[in-house]
Amino acid sequence: MWGSTLYHLDDLPYKPKEYLPHIYGKFREKSAAVRVRKCHDAPKKGDMPFVSKPTTEMKSGMNYMPTL
């Protein structure tokens, strides 16, 4: 899954399904000009939708507090 990688697949100068450097040095050379995409801003208060009828799973998740 590409969601856990540093670079987005569309930003790479090659198609990873067709060619992926197996040696780190070659990967570094090919990826040197690629920049990491900017992260999304954290949502501000009021940006997230309000849940009017939370499920039991949601309620248990909101009340869960791990013990140390």
Residue 25 is predicted with a pLDDT of 92
Residue 2 is predicted with a pLDDT of 58
Quote the pTM value.
0.46
SS3 readout for the chain: CHHHCCCCHHHCCCCCCCCCCCCHHHHHHHHCCCCCCCCCCCCCCCCCCCCCCCCHHHHHHHHCCCCC
pLDDT tens digits, one per residue of 4-50: 778 888 888 888 888 888 899 988 888 888 888 888 888 888 888 88
